[in-house]
Homo-oligomer: A and B are copies of this chain.
């Protein structure tokens, strides 16, 4: 059971604590990005996970490789070359002040890569699962073309393909996103989205929902899932359900729909340490659950518990063991000291 994820890994530069950007005298430096985050989660669960991207040969690129290796991800398929590593600056919000992201990712090695950089047949040999997100095709037309090539190769090799829609308004328009993602969906088996993505990318809206106010209607989301499945013929669609009361306090849960049934997870009241990567950790949990053959409800609870824990961990990556996730999914949420 080998999982391939493909996308961009960025240098993440975040001021310490709740410092605003203009107060920062230094930046904590870690690495992260949607698909890389999924690979790290899976490696932490004991899955053979490889991340595919393109990274410059210099030390900032090497730092990204090392960070993945450190947490057990296979980096042997990463192509080395190009000019720069994408960067994102992250300012952590508090209470009524939202977190803020400044992207400096244009012209990165992966955004400037060409189709010829990747030999997908070789990459997918021996693999069972391919995962990407809607961020990667948004990086550049080249990146979108590479995604398409990867999807086709994955389909032809018989891999399960999952995609997290992950709409990013500052990377492309809804219109372009709809077109590009629409054609990629043909090759996708399992679709993951947050409560806004389906609308942003495909114009599919949950009736009765108002994301900003934190109101979420279960029936509305069932509609959305049903519409997605109907349009793209997905085997499963999962939607994460976040109710945002403040930058510190959110409710977190998710829904999973197969064609026939919809499952809703327990809902966690989370006091947030770092919510970036929350969706990615959910996706990884779902992939893990599928690979382990967990029943739908159990798998969904695993994924939600894993991503609940992500919110308590600094950085993009989710450092939790399957033991920790299972304990929480089993109901132990009291936070008592483990000695």
Given the contacts A22-B66, A100-B338, A314 and B247 also touching, CB distance less than 8 Å: no
Q: Report Cα–Cα, A328/B95, bound state, in Å.
A: 11
In the bound complex, do residue A337 and residue B72 qualify as a contact, i.e. CB atoms below 8 Å apart? no
Judge if A157 is at the interface, Cβ distance under 8 Å.
Answer: no
Given the contacts A70-B66, A97-B324, A102-B60, A333 and B246 also touching, CB distance less than 8 Å: yes
Q: Report Cα–Cα, A262/B188, bound state, in Å.
A: 59
Kindly name the residue among A26, A97, A245, A248 whose own CB sees the greatest number of chain B CB atoms within 10 A.
A97
Q: Report Cα–Cα, A27/B25, bound state, in Å.
A: 9
Of the listed stretches A86-94, A230-238, A287-295, chain B binds: A86-94
- The smallest C-beta distance from A88 to any residue of chain B, in angstroms, reads 9
Would you give the 0/1 interface string for A326-339, flagging 1 where the beta carbon is closer than 8 Å to chain B?
Answer: 00100011111111
Among A116-171, those with CB < 8 Å from B are 168-170
Judge if A308 is at the interface, Cβ distance under 8 Å.
Answer: yes
Judge if A258 is at the interface, Cβ distance under 8 Å.
Answer: no
Given the contacts A26-B26, A63-B21, A339 and B170 also touching, CB distance less than 8 Å: yes
Q: Report Cα–Cα, A249/B16, bound state, in Å.
A: 22
Q: How many protomers of this protein does the assembly include?
A: 6
Assign chain A's interface to a size class: 35 or more
In the bound complex, do residue A313 and residue B22 qualify as a contact, i.e. CB atoms below 8 Å apart? no
Q: Report Cα–Cα, A319/B62, bound state, in Å.
A: 12
Closest to A72 in B: B69
Judge if A104 is at the interface, Cβ distance under 8 Å.
Answer: yes
Q: Report Cα–Cα, A98/B312, bound state, in Å.
A: 10
- What residues on B are CB-neighbors of A96 within 8 Å? 268, 270, 305, 308-309, 312, 328, 333, 335
- The smallest C-beta distance from A80 to any residue of chain B, in angstroms, reads 13
Given the contacts A18-B314, A94-B312, A104-B84, A275 and B337 also touching, CB distance less than 8 Å: yes
Q: Report Cα–Cα, A22/B98, bound state, in Å.
A: 28
In the bound complex, do residue A22 and residue B319 qualify as a contact, i.e. CB atoms below 8 Å apart? yes
Closest to A271 in B: B95
Would you give the 0/1 interface string for A96-110, flagging 1 where the beta carbon is closer than 8 Å to chain B?
Answer: 111111111011000
**Chain A residues near B (Cβ < 8 Å):** 13, 16-30, 58-60, 62-63, 66-67, 69-72, 83-85, 87, 89, 91, 93-104, 106-107, 168-170, 212-214, 244-249, 268-273, 275-276, 305, 308-309, 311-315, 319-320, 324, 328, 332-339
- Can you offer 13 A-B residue contacts whose CB atoms are under 8 A? A25-B28, A27-B27, A69-B72, A70-B70, A85-B104, A94-B271, A96-B305, A97-B313, A97-B324, A99-B338, A169-B339, A170-B339, A246-B333
